[in-house]
Amino acid sequence: MPSNTLKVLIVEDDLTLQSIVIECLEHHHFLPTAVSNILDFYKAFGSDSFDIVIIDLGLPDGDGMDLVDYIKNINNDIGVVIMSAKTSPEQRALGYQHRCDIYITKPFDCIELGMSINNLAQHLNPASASDQTQKPLWTYNHDEQTLTAPNGRHVALTTKEDIFINKIYKANSAIVYRSDLMKSLGYEDVPLSNSLDAIVQRVRKKISYLQLDISSPIRTVHGSGFKFLSTPYKL
């Protein structure tokens, strides 16, 4: 794959270091996009296709290693580079156990980074990035109150279930906070109510009846709320 077509997503919360990485990648004729946290990663990854993702492990809203797992579960052909100040042999081995392709320690050398990514690009499937968006997706139809699995099977939703799915689906992979969902469902005056969790449990139970070998589109963000991820991965 020619390097000048290679799209690279950078997940790094240190803005000074982030700008250095961007400059380095542009010097090597890559096409970089940068985000600073896990939430913005999901937004970028869900709205565009990337060939390689560079991930810092110590992110403000979670562990970057979770992103390594997420990417590789969705598409193992996407290259993953860990860039971390954690330099112990045990930490590097852990990164490779989670299927990262390259583990680079900070501080890094721009030439080494560029050459490493260029070498990784030679082993990538040129169609890998487009495959990411061409995979069958979970879809939702508000008018029919249905959630449709990638294999075409439908989940019928009640009115409250439809309100919940509609709210997180429209967020385009971003987190929808519990307080916002409670308000949309008419539960804002009963903040300790477990009605929202009951709705989520019912929808997940209906999905489980389909007996699929892929992930549910409903993802819990502990302590915050929920998000809808249209692209499934194999279980």
Residue 153 scores a pLDDT above 80 = yes
Q: What is the mean pLDDT of the chain?
A: 86
pLDDT (0 to 100) of residue 2: 45
User: Rg for the chain (alpha carbons), in Å?
Assistant: 20
Token pair listed for 94: 């852990």
Give the pLDDT band (50/70/90) at residue 216: confident
Output DSSP code: residue 231: S
Residue 130 scores a pLDDT above 50 = no
Which amino acid, residue 63? D
- Residue 225 to residue 174: CA distance in whole angstroms: 10
Answer whether 157's CB lies under 8 Å from 165's CB. yes
pLDDT (0 to 100) of residue 131: 45
List pLDDT tens digits, range 90-126.
999 999 999 999 999 988 888 888 888 888 887 775 4
- Domains, the chain, ranges and CATH? 3-133 (3.40.50.2300), 135-228 (1.10.10.10)
- Quickly list H helices, the chain: 15-27, 38-47, 64-74, 89-97, 110-122, 128-134, 159-170, 178-184, 195-208
Answer whether 50's CB lies under 8 Å from 33's CB. yes
Residue 235 scores a pLDDT above 80 = no
pLDDT (0 to 100) of residue 159: 96
